[in-house]
Amino acid sequence: MSQTPPYTPVFEVASATFEDSKTVSSTSGTSLRTDTITVDTTNVSNSAATDSFYYSPTSPAPHKFDNTHDLLSNLLDTKCQVSSKLPEIPKTSSKTNSPVPYKLKTEHLESFVLSPEVFEIKLDKMIGKGSNSYVHLATLATREVNSVAMNIAIKIPTAKNKVKLLERETEFMLTLRDYRDSKWFRKFGDSSFPFVDAYGLYYLSKSQFPMMKKTDTLPCLLMKNYDTDLYKFINEKKQTTQATEPAIGLDNWYQLLDFILKGLQVLQDIGAVHCDIKTDNILVGTTLGPRPIFKFIDFTSSSKIIDIHEQPEMTLQFTPPELLKDQTKLPDYATDLYSAGLVLLQAATGLPPYSGYDYDPYYLISLVKEGKVFELLTREETNRITGNSHVHQILDAILLKRRSLEEVIGLSQ
């Protein structure tokens, strides 16, 4: 997602480039033995990016968002209004280069498409951009006299050749949705499901989103929107917490721990790994109750373990040492838990792992390979994790002793 701190290296096996997403340009990087990286210099505070607005020509009138949000959300969750019918393109002369809707690879995905005859989209400001997709705020509304509407986030592929990544992500989210509907409540009761909800796929063309090519009509992923992400949440909370407690506060830290452990249990139950757990990929809802709600997002690299045949792209600071030391090693439950431990560490110290050492990607790689994240903590950071012996014990178990998920769950109780 878009909140990765400036100059955050992203580990990528296939190529070595240094990309600046502010200028959407790249130059060739230099290979360091077998290690190759992409350095993401996205600055999400760039007003030129976040002030862009795009609107559909069939935008709904303004709506009040009260209980209609839950009504439309429930309507989508029942799947009764989801149509497998792709947008119809008017028949034209063979001389006209008409856009043809992208053909999804499975009927399962086609059944998740929202019909434009039932729903319409109004795009709002862009809230994130990566190499594979844009993310915008949007309004989803029904096409009827007594229309209902709600605010959502929409993930739009940057190009036609990026749709396959969105297809894979959508299929993974549907697997999570099936787990939620069939097993979650029996195992975890009425606690909040730890993964963001997907509402459906919706086709957009250049007339609705000017960044698309004239020849493209591409599926976009609709998701529930939340107030902020964990990276911002940490930066906000650390201004008001005590120097000897976790940066987000002790209660919030334990809430985050509970969320992470339940999310990892779900992934283990379905035999899958996230592969890119970091603070940017966790959303936070702060207005839904007295305690924050956390949600995992961005499943571009996620997969069933049996389907992983090479290392996916991962953010360097959150990459387990063993994946850098041996590039034939594949992600597993232990590597996801380690990345999650680094998220908990950042929530405790208030700063990203290896903060202050990311000025040189090659030096940073050597530090990550040796797993020296604890050795590099400042006195202030150390005070925040040692102020509570239980917090320190859990972080030590995950990041130094490399305990299993089951052992960490036992320690947390």
The annotation places the binding site at: 155
Going by C-alpha positions, the residue among 410, 276, 268 that lies closest to residue 343 is: 276
Nearest CA-CA partner of 142 in 170, 123, 113, 114: 114
Structure tokens that stand for 26 in this block: 């790249």
Instruction: Considering only the C-alpha atoms of the chain, give the largest distance between any 2 of them, rounded to a whole number of Å.
Output: 73
Alpha carbon distance 70, 401 (integer Å): 44
Structure tokens at 124: 């709002």
- What is the Cα–Cα distance from 350 to 330, expressed in whole angstroms? 30
Cβ-count burial of 301 within 10 angstroms (0-12 exposed, 13-18 middle, 19+ buried)? Answer: buried
Element containing residue 267 per DSSP (H, E): helix 250-269
Annotated binding site for ATP: 155
Q: Which of 287, 271, 402 is nearest to 334 (CA)?
A: 402
- Residue 321: strand, helix, or coil: helix
Strands (E), 291-390: 293-296, 303-304, 314-315
Q: Are 391 and 253 in contact (CB under 8 A)?
A: yes
Strand partners, 219: 203
